[in-house]
Amino acid sequence: MEKSDKKNSRNYRLSLIDAVSHERLWSVRFTKPIFIGALVSGIVVAMVVFFVLVAYTPMRTFIPGYPSAQTRRQAVQNAQKIDSLEMRLLQWQLYSENLRRIVAGEAPIRLDSVMLGRENSRDITDAQYYAIRDSLLRADVLTQEQFNVDDSPKKNLPMEALSFFPPVKGVVSEGFERTIHPYIDITAPAGSMVTSVLDGTVVHTSWDPEDGYLIVIQHDGDILSLYKHNQKLLHRQGDVVKAGTPIGLVAESESLTKGNHLHFELWYEGQAMDPTQFIKF
């Protein structure tokens, strides 16, 4: 026991000596426990410093796999291409709808007015155009949910169990921050369709020179959704809307910093919530 205690209490010395004069310039004494403790402390401090540098400085962009400004720009461009492909798909859906109408003996839709531009068309109005898109979307949703056996009302479900529609097809360019940014910005091409995330009632609409058109929808379960930066609204206050129903169009922004985007807020029981926790963008 005495030999073991002497071995554990053995002192070590680290000295810095001048090679010419043999003068001791610096010296420190330590034991094995002190050396191990200092080593562990140094590793912890180094990890904390590395975390701070990565989390709060531009050094995080050098980490492999971290999205840079170029990758974000590419993501926005890809989202715009996807929107163009969706418009192309809509044209084929309208074509299929025409075939169905002809077989059923109904009057076909004038496809030229949709494909060549609604602004040059006199045969189909904006309301009819978005009604067609809404009907096709509802048919697709019903097809996907035809085997759903859950008949419980949505208003009794928590937010995590609800199926939210994305308000617009795009990329989240600025995320949620409860204190200074209690909402998200979704980059999308001007004219992109804005849809209601859940069934609800339009409780407020307004227009502002800087923010464009604003629409607020009240949903069951004390849920409120807010959509800002619209160039046009498709519903008025008091209208009842379904999930996925078109309610507006993204406005064209003159800002060079943010570009065309939708300002979206989600509130639950009077508190701002992070939409990305419940909606897949």
CATH number at residue 203: 2.70.70.10
Are residues 173 and 100 part of one domain?
Answer: no
Are residues 137 and 120 part of one domain?
Answer: yes
* Calpha distance 12→261 (Å, rounded): 65
Residue 53 has pLDDT above 90, yes or no: no
Residues 109-138 have pLDDT tens digits of 654 544 444 444 444 455 555 556 666 665
Are residues 258 and 187 part of one domain?
Answer: yes
Residue 60 has pLDDT above 60, yes or no: yes
152 lies in a domain? Answer: no
CB contact burial 173-206 (16+ within 10 A = b; e otherwise): beebeeeeeebbbbbbbeebbbbbbbbbebeebe
* Calpha distance 135→126 (Å, rounded): 14
> Which of 201, 202, 213, 223 lies closest to 267 in space, CA to CA?
223
Is the full-model pTM beyond 0.75?
Answer: no
* Mean confidence (pLDDT) of the chain: 78
At residue 66 the predicted structure's pLDDT band, cuts being 50, 70 and 90, is: low
More confident residue, 233 or 86: 233
| Residue 11: per-residue pLDDT | 79
Least confident of 39-43, 122-126, 172-176, 252-256: 122-126
Range of the domain at 130: 69-144
Are residues 102 and 165 part of one domain?
Answer: no
149 lies in a domain? Answer: no
At residue 240 the predicted structure's pLDDT band, cuts being 50, 70 and 90, is: very high
The C-alpha torsion from 3 through 6 and 8 to 10, rounded to 10°, is -140
Residue 263 has pLDDT above 50, yes or no: yes
> Which of 180, 196, 155, 221 lies closest to 279 in space, CA to CA?
196
Residue 212 has pLDDT above 80, yes or no: yes
- Residues β-bridged to residue 276: none
Average of pLDDT values for 164-183? 91
Provide the percentage of residues in the chain whose pLDDT is more than 70. Answer: 72
Domain boundary among 144, 177, 199: 144
Take residue 94 and report the two structure tokens written for it: 């309208």
Provide the percentage of residues in the chain whose pLDDT is more than 90. Answer: 32
Are residues 95 and 27 part of one domain?
Answer: no
With H, G, I as helix, E, B as strand and everything else as coil, classify residue 38.
helix
| Tokens 């990565």, residue located | 54
| Residue 145: per-residue pLDDT | 52
Handedness of CA 145, 147, 152, 157 (dihedral sign): negative
Cβ atoms of residues 207 and 232 within 8 Å: no
| Residue 2: per-residue pLDDT | 52
Average of pLDDT values for 10-36? 81
| Residue 201: per-residue pLDDT | 95
With H, G, I as helix, E, B as strand and everything else as coil, classify residue 114.
helix
Positions of E strands within 37-175: 171-174
Domain boundary among 61, 89, 104: 61
> Which of 163, 145, 130, 96 lies closest to 245 in space, CA to CA?
130
56 lies in a domain? Answer: yes
Q: What domain count does the chain have? A: 3
Are residues 269 and 165 part of one domain?
Answer: yes
Average of pLDDT values for 43-65? 78
Are residues 138 and 179 part of one domain?
Answer: no
| Residue 36: per-residue pLDDT | 87
